[in-house]
Structure 1
Amino acid sequence: MFANHRPRWPLYALLGLLALLLLGLLQPIGIDELLHWGIALAGHSATLPTLLLLMAALMSFGLPGSLCFWLIAPFYSPLISVPVLVMGSVAGAAGAYALGHRVGSAVRPNRLARQVLTLLARRSDFLTQCALRILPAFPHAFINLAAGVLHLPLTSFLLAAVLGLSIKWLVYAYAVHGMVSARLAEQSLDLSTLLPLFGLAGLLLTGSLVRRHWLRADDHAPLR
């Protein structure tokens, strides 16, 4: 009997998407283009696993894997999209950590990357890492690579990434779910949506400072 050949257009579409994202490293991709691809790919069984792997691979090399957010979150329920986004971004974080750990001092960071490196060298506790993950628009690639370069404890690094990114992706996913136009999608991520993330990040940083102060006070307390 003849084999039942399935249409190959989804495979071609995913390959085209990969080419588009790689091209985007040289020329920025607009949300309109990403939403157009998302509409074409939504519903196919291979889309989410492929985007998860693509997101992890891009972020492992410090590339903008978060572009995959616009291909996932508007078209899938947050109950589906958030776990996929968390798995992809945490896997990418682990890959970038390993890369930073391997190259170490050979890294030549730019100004912003040096600032992140200096910050984590001074304060790399769990609460601070969570706060940086939650902050809107904070460059996760710099956190991942800097953590590897500094040889921060992998367990706390991954736990902070899971917790911080879960909160962040949950807020973002609920905000843009169902949005199929760039204008509406961008409007959904306005200050009223992002303000709770800033507030939570501020609370975590405050908690980190208080904890550091208490530990310092205990170290200087006279022995009885």
Structure 2
Amino acid sequence: MTHPRPRPNGFSRANIGRGLLVLLIALGIGIALWIGDPVRLLAWGDAVAGGPWATAGLVLLMALMLTFALPGTLILWLIAPFHPPLLAIGLLLAGSVSGAWGAYRVSARLARHPDHERREDAWLADFLHRHSGLATQIALRVLPGFPHSMVNYAGGALGLPLGRFLLAAVLGLAVKWGVYATAIHGTTDALASGEALQPQTLLPLFALAVLLLLGAALRHRIQRRHSRRLETDE
């Protein structure tokens, strides 16, 4: 007896949970900045999260969270506002690439004991199985529509070449963290100084909006193709 294959669902419990967590954090930051003094709050955050030991701990925490498919990229909000963009990019790369390597290893080991349940990221694994070139992997890292944990675990489960996998992570995430860190740091600088956002600050925000739209469109297209392929196989 064959069981029907579930279609990929972009509104799974895991995705909803991640979305709610991000929404709550963003809402909390917004309320804190609105109610309190932005300059004082940013100075307090710098004192707490900007020290060398705290920064090292955040990088390690980010790596561990991504290794075990937790939303480690949220550490971005504890690093980017309190460090210059170039330093923030380096710190974020250290945490996220280490986490990608750890998740790859964990997923590769789990793949030796396969279960017969279809995973939430089956659509992404199917896509990477067919298109695993360096350019494709870089694109998946750059575009925000593809959670890092899904890319990491799909790469490990498929046994993609580790060198290419890590190179794509470094190149793609360098671009992505560059846009994020520049946008966040520029915004916090404007809040701290009480000045309006400058054109050089608005440009990264515009680039981020474009990446979000492209990522969402590409993810929808890949999931739709995967759904059609499942229907054809049945």
Q: Common fold, TM-score beyond 0.5? A: yes
1:74 offset after TM fit, Å?
1.1
Identity %: 44
TM-score w.r.t. length of structure 2? 0.64
The one-letter code matched in structure 1 to 2:207 is T
RMSD: 3.3
**Structure 2, gaps ≥5 residues long:** 1-16, 33-40, 216-234
Please state if 1:30 is matched with 2:25.
Answer: yes
For 2:95 and 2:213, locate their aligned partners in 1 and report how far apart those are by CA, in whole Å: 26
| DSSP 3-state at the match of 2:160 | coil
For 1:196 and 1:175, locate their aligned partners in 2 and report how far apart those are by CA, in whole Å: 13
1:48 offset after TM fit, Å?
1.2
Distance 1:31 1:164, change over 3 A: same
1:189 offset after TM fit, Å?
9.4
- Residue in 2 aligned with 1:84? 91
Aligned length in residues: 174
| DSSP 3-state at the match of 2:145 | coil
1:139 offset after TM fit, Å?
1.0
Partners of 2:179 and 2:204 within 8 A in 1: no
**Correspondence list, 1:144-183, <5 A:** 144-180=152-188
**Correspondence list, 1:37-56, <5 A:** 38-56=45-63
Moved segments of 4+, more than 3 Å: 32-40, 106-111, 178-181, 187-191, 195-201
Choose 1 or 2 for highest CA Rg.
1
For 2:171 and 2:179, locate their aligned partners in 1 and report how far apart those are by CA, in whole Å: 13
For 1:33 and 1:39, locate their aligned partners in 2 and report how far apart those are by CA, in whole Å: 17
**Structure 1, gaps ≥5 residues long:** 1-23, 202-224
- Residue in 1 aligned with 2:206? 192
| DSSP 3-state at the match of 2:70 | coil
1:39 offset after TM fit, Å?
4.2
Query: Which one of the candidate residues 67, 80, 83 is aligned to 2:74?
Result: 67
TM-score w.r.t. length of structure 1? 0.67
For 1:63 and 1:189, locate their aligned partners in 2 and report how far apart those are by CA, in whole Å: 30
Partners of 2:182 and 2:204 within 8 A in 1: no
Distance 1:157 1:175, change over 3 A: same
1:75 offset after TM fit, Å?
1.2
